[in-house]
Every structure is written in structure tokens, then in C-alpha cells.
Structure 1
Amino acid sequence: MKKISAVIKMIMTENYIDKDILFIVKSEIRLKILTELNEKPQTIREIVDNTNMIYSSVSNNMNKLEYKNHVIKENRTYSINPMTKIYFNQLMEFKKSIDVIQNYNSLWYKHDITYLNIGLIEDITKLYQSKLIETNPIDIYKTHNNIKRQLKNSRNVKGVLPYIHPEYPKLIENILKNNGSVELIMEKDIYKGLVSQMDEKLKRKSMREGRLKINIIKENLEIYLLICDDAMNLGLFRNDGSYDQNRILNSSSDEAMNWAASLFDNIKEKVI
């Protein structure tokens, strides 16, 4: 959590927020106007119709934006100033970063994010469309059942596994039996626990064909990552060193899948 906060402070000191940006941020109406104009040039009436805002409020704030050279008027149509567009998009990215931290606070707070390098944290907005899956007293297996469902429906899986659930060996076997591929990163003891429960003939055949790859890492793995065909899943360890099986961050967006792939590759580099 401290690492994420440090990045936010860094962004704040790099003039992402200056007087012009503060002028925009202080008004929800101005933000909505620029959001509309960021899509395409529009008249005041078109913005009013799209947003259901009051005409006089839009007109008044549009005049202020024009006075500060944030928008350009041609006849009755307004467009966003190119420099303002850059600032505005940076602002929206910054807001998305804050939303990712706040919306999934229970995942980040008091959890270890050592495996997330500065590049991954700076790209944290790629997790914006994620959902936090959490167990509850009624459904204490909610996180595992979600993972289980994905493994059953996937042909290609990559994972960083700090532990092996009793159902994982069979689920992985089924992927391999269906000519799928599995690549895992794990500690040696976890590896032994996995292969001891797998069919030896299937394991050897899959490894020979390059469909089963297991990378042994010497250091203690304190992160959970599973990338299936249609979704990625991220789990973290608590600061006390215990894995938090009660919550995982899940996303099927392309951006999140790419983010997860980068995390996998970064951890894999520690093996080589």
C-alpha cells in the first residue's frame, strides 16, 4: 500500500495537477462538459441532451472554459483545446488509479505487493474494469469456486502458485488431456506436491510435447496469479506472511490480461 501511495505522490509532483487542472476538477459540470467534448465537438444543446444537465449551467461553465482557453468555439460548436485534451486524459488516468486503489482497498490494505514493480503499479489503471471476489459466511468457497470454474473451461493456463489446492492436480490433468497447455511458477515443495498427484504418463507426455512447463523458483512465493483463457486472477499475501484466500481480483479485460502477463513474465525472470 505504501508503494502505491508513493507513486501517487510522484505523479502529484510531476505537474499532473496544476492550476488549470484544479479549475477543471473543482466543478463536476466542467468535468462532464469536457468528458463530452473529449469524445467529439458538440453544441451546448447536444451536451445538455446527452447529460441531462441544466442548459444555463452548461452555458455558464462553457463560457468559463472558453475564457480560460480550454475549449474552442466555431459557430455554435465547441471542441476541446488540444493541450487541455492531454491534461484531461492524464487527469482521467489519475482518477482511475485512485479508483482502483479505493474500490479494491481490502485487497491492497495490509497486503504485500512486493512482486508488483514500479511499472506495474504505474499501469494499475489497467485493472480498472476488474471485480473483487470475496468470500462471505454464506459462501466461504466463493474464490476457489470461481477459480475452479475458469480452470474447467480453459485450454491455456499460466499461473504463479504459492500453494496447491487439493482439486488443482485433477483440474490441470483435464486441461492436458484435452490437449491444452499449462505453464506454472512455484516453489520446489509445491511442485513435488503437484506432480505426486498427477498421472505420471500424462505428465511426461505433456512435458515432452511442451504443453506442461513448470518453473521452479528458489525464493518464497508470496503472490497468487492465474491467467486462464478469458480472465486473470490476482491474490495477495497479508503482511503477516499468510496467504489471503478470502479475496481475489478478477478481470476479463484485455488490458488486465496484458497486465497479468507482464507480472507473470517479471516473476519468471527470477527463475531464469
Structure 2
Amino acid sequence: MKTFKKTCGGLLKDEYIDKLNAIWDEISTISNPNRIRILYFLFNQEQANVKEIHEKVNLSYPTISNNFKVLLKEEYVFKHKSYYYVGASGKIKLQLLFKLTDIFNIADNYQYILANHIVDDFSIDNILSFNYLKDSKLMQISRKDVFAIDKLLIDNMKNSKFLYFIFSELNLRYVEIISELLSEHIPVKLIIPQEIRVKFIDSFDRDLINKAFMDKRFYFLATSDKIHLNLFVNDFMMAFNLFHETGIVDKNNVIISNNDLSLKWAKSVFNNCFEKGGIKYGSLAE
């Protein structure tokens, strides 16, 4: 059995090493190409005997027999009389491995923006749900048009039925649109850096935000922990951009989607970031 060991000065915790080893064990069980063909065939059938597998999958009888020994031992497959079928546990494991493949493909597709960027704000669950981003698009912006992201977000913010928003720099146009949303009784949740908290609050009409706090329509976190992404999600769009490893925000690349699963994923990222340290305002502070 292949095992993963601590590397990079022990950065991999024991719990993650154990998880990686468990995943590797599962992958090793089905890594044989013939085994995958048999499993894929059975996965889509209620049951089949060796003759049917031989005819449909085009494998020799000895090959089928040898692979079934492993699959039966690891309980991916069960036998009833002369028929084989994938058990409930095997189906779940296969579906999870298919999902893992999707996640790897998406990570490869977005390698350009993920490489050399800080991704620490994504939880393990966020990463395992990367396949929710499969219909997303990468918007690349020229260095001459650095305000294109702000314009995109402002244009889409205006018609929001709710708004979740993480931003790293104070933009008075954001304050304007958020004020309009609050005056229209639209729920707003924000995460901002602690260093812009005072200027941010002072930019609002105090009566407006006090009423919004009381009505539980407006709440935000002024975080003392550094957040290395800007994220926008409303009822019809999500968008996010990351920070370079140098700590500077990347204003030239943004991932955008209108897909419902992407919106769900973005909300999850927001909620994860909201657990960071800082001062909470509004009903979430209760």
C-alpha cells in the first residue's frame, strides 16, 4: 500500500495524511483499467453474469474472474447465484470517485487563476464542491480596464433580491447601491476588513443602517483576519477573484456564473468566511 508522509516541515496534519491514505486505498482497488470497465458496466446494470460481462465488456473469462476476486474481497461487488451486482456501498464510493474526478478537472481548467494565488479561505467542503463551478466562466480583464470588475458588480448589484458580498477596498458606489437596497428592504450580508470599518460605517446614513439592523436586514463582519478573496453573490449571479501570493488582489481575473449550484457554493464560501474573527454587526451578532 502506498502511503503519504509528512512533508514541507510537517504541514500535512496526521488527520489529512490518514484521509489521503484512505482515498489512495480506494483508488488502488479500482485503478486497474479492466476493473473499471467491469464496475462501470455493473454500475449501470441491475446485475449481470460472467457470460454477459464477457460479451458486453469484451474481456476474457480469466480476466473477469481475477478482477472479481478483488472486487468481491473489497465489497464493491456482491454475488447472488451466478449474477454479480454493485452493492450500495460500492455505488456510493464510485459516485464519490466520479465527483473527485470532476473536481480535478475543474481545478485543472482553472489552474491559471488558482496557481500563484492564495486559496486559504476555501474550506475542505468548498474544495470538495468545486464541481459546482463546472459551468462557470473565467473573465479576463486587461490591465488598462482595472475598474471593469467594479462596474460588473455594481450593474448586477442593483437588481438583487438579496446580497452576500466580501470586498477588500472601500468603494463609495458600493455604499450607494447597498443603501438603495436597504431602503428597499433587501437583505444584505457583508464581510469587510477591519481597517476600513470606520470609513465604511460613516459612509452610510446612520438612521438607514440603524433601522436595517433593527429590522434584521443588514449585518456584516468587520474581520480582523485577512481574507484573500473578493466574493459577490446575489439571487442570479456569483463572482469571485483571488489575491496573488504577494498579497495583492488580482483585478484581471474573475470567475463568474449564473448557475444555481455555483450560487450555492458561493454562499457556502461566504458563510465559512463569516466564522473568522472580528466585530459582527446586526442580527448575525446576536
Structure 1 length as normaliser, TM-score?
A: 0.71
How far apart, CA to CA, are the structure 1 residues paired with 2:273 and 2:45? 38
TM-aligned CA distance change 1:166 to 1:66, over 3 Å = same
Alignment of 1:9-88 (within 5 A): 10=17, 13-18=20-25, 21-22=27-28, 24-27=30-33, 30-31=35-36, 34-35=39-40, 37-38=42-43, 41-43=46-48, 55-57=56-58, 65-68=67-70, 69=72, 70-72=76-78, 78-82=84-88, 84-85=90-91, 87-88=93-94
For the residues of structure 1 that align with 2:110 and 2:38, how far apart are their CA atoms?
Answer: 28
Q: Percent identity?
A: 17
By how many angstroms is 1:103 displaced? Answer: 2.4
Q: How does 1:84-233 map to 2 (within 5 A)?
A: 84-85=90-91, 87-116=93-122, 120-121=123-124, 123-130=126-133, 131-137=136-142, 140=145, 143-144=149-150, 146-233=152-239
Q: In the aligned structure 2, how far is the partner of 1:79 from the partner of 1:146?
A: 51
Q: Which amino acid aligns with 2:24?
A: I
Separation in 2, partners of 1:237, 1:213:
25
RMSD between superposed Cα atoms in Å = 4.0
- Name the aligned partner's letter for residue 91 of structure 1: L
For residue 146 of structure 1, report the CA deviation from its aligned partner: 4.6
What code does the residue aligned with 2:22 have? N
Letter in 1 for 2:218: L
Residue ranges of structure 2 left out of the alignment (5+ in a row):
1-7, 281-286
Q: Matched residues in 2 for 1:182 and 1:67: separation?
A: 57
1:74-104: CA deviations, max 9, x gaps? 5786421455445434533443443343222
**1:153 CA drift (Å):** 3.0
SS in structure 1 at match of 2:129: helix
Q: How far off its partner does 1:161 sit?
A: 1.7
How far the C-alpha of 1:110 sits from its partner, in A, is: 1.1
Secondary structure of 1:202's match?
A: helix
Report the Cα offset of residue 59 of structure 1. 7.9
Once residues 95 and 218 of structure 1 are traced to their aligned partners in structure 2, the CA distance between those partners, rounded to angstroms, is 36
Contact 1:217 1:270 in 2 (8 A): yes
1:77–1:174 Cα change, 3 Å:
farther
| 2:283 corresponding residue in structure 1 | none
The answer to which of 251-260 and 57-66 deviates more is 57-66
Instruction: In structure 1, give the amino acid aligned to 2:157.
Output: L
> Do the aligned residues in 2 keep the contact of 1:16 with 1:90 (CA within 8 Å)?
no
In structure 2, do the counterparts of structure 1 residues 34 and 258 end up closer, same or farther at CA, with 3 Å as the change threshold? farther
CA deviation string 1:207-246 (max 9, x = no partner): 3433222332335443323332345443321111111122
Query: How many residue pairs align between the two structures?
Result: 256
1:246 to 228, 231, 252: 252
Report how far residue 115 of structure 1 moved.
3.1
- 1:114 Cα deviation from its structure 2 partner: 3.2
Identify unmatched segments of 5+ residues in structure 1.
49-53
One-letter code aligned to 2:116 = K
Following superposition, the deviation at residue 155 of structure 1 comes to 2.3
Q: Cα offset for 1:157?
A: 1.9
